[in-house]
């Protein structure tokens, strides 16, 4: 009997309790409210990049969950190139452009789980907690969080790593996710990647524990 396929034939070699999802950050911003959204997306992108780097250093899988933005006859790399070359938010896309070590899942609708391979990928990665980030907090991030909650994932939605057209709309979405989906909405700076097992804790708690361990 052949051995069980434990890594999707080499396509999912990582194993971690946590996964960082970047939702619709590869975006051509070709819609009427784009300028309004970009005002919030540009500063968010810099913060999100720092979170991504810290996740990579801790061995946390990074997964781009993305629409094709009208490029359904092309692959994901061509979608990225389209958004870099022709999108109104090309500076955001250049900053958050996927790297070779990153995973990606293409979605046809708002939720990252609807008619996609995301759930299968997360099962092979042995993920228990999702860190949801990206655009827009009150649509695709919220819909993905709803579906993740129904699948019994633990949720972290850093308040400074997701944006909507307005701060009011984004704050409302975060409150909904915190109240009804039990999401932890602490800021990204308060997330600490401790070790290869993906354990997270608040920086202040870590500092207190360190102080207590000193002779």
> What are 182's two structure tokens?
């039990």
157: closest CA among 194, 83, 149?
149
Phi, psi of 90 (to 5 degrees): -60, -25
At 80 the pLDDT is 87
State how far the Cα of 58 lies from the Cα of 114, in Å rounded to an integer.
29
Q: Contact at 8 Å (CB) between 61 and 103? A: yes
Q: What tens-digit pLDDT sequence spans the chain (215 residues)? A: 345 677 766 666 678 999 999 999 999 888 888 899 999 999 999 999 999 999 999 999 999 999 877 666 667 888 888 788 877 889 999 999 999 999 999 999 999 999 999 999 999 999 999 999 999 999 999 999 999 999 999 999 999 999 999 999 999 999 999 999 999 999 999 998 865 544 544 444 444 444 433 33
In terms of DSSP H, where are the helices of 14-139? 34-57, 76-86, 90-95, 118-125
Interatomic CA distance for residues 82 and 26, integer angstroms? 10
């Amino acid at each position: 009997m052949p051995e069980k396929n434990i890594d999707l034939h080499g396509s999912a070699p990582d194993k971690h309790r946590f996964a960082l999802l970047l939702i619709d950050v590869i975006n051509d911003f070709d819609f009427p409210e784009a300028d309004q959204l970009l005002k919030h997306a540009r500063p968010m992108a810099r913060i999100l990049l720092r979170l991504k780097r810290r996740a990579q250093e801790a061995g946390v899988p990074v997964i781009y969950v993305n629409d094709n933005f009208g490029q359904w006859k092309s692959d994901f790399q061509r979608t990225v190139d389209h958004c870099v070359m022709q999108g109104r938010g090309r500076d955001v896309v250049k900053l958050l452009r996927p790297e070779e070590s990153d995973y990606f899942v293409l979605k046809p609708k708002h939720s990252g789980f609807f008619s996609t391979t995301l759930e299968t990928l997360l099962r092979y990665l042995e993920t228990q907690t999702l860190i949801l980030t990206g655009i827009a907090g009150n649509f695709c991030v919220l819909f993905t969080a709803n579906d993740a909650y129904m699948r019994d994932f633990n949720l972290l939605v850093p308040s400074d790593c997701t944006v909507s057209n307005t701060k009011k709309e984004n704050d409302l979405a975060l409150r909904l996710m915190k109240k009804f989906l039990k999401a932890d909405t602490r800021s990204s700076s308060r997330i600490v990647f401790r070790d290869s097992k993906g354990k997270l804790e608040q920086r202040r708690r870590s500092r207190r524990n360190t102080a207590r361990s000193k002779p």
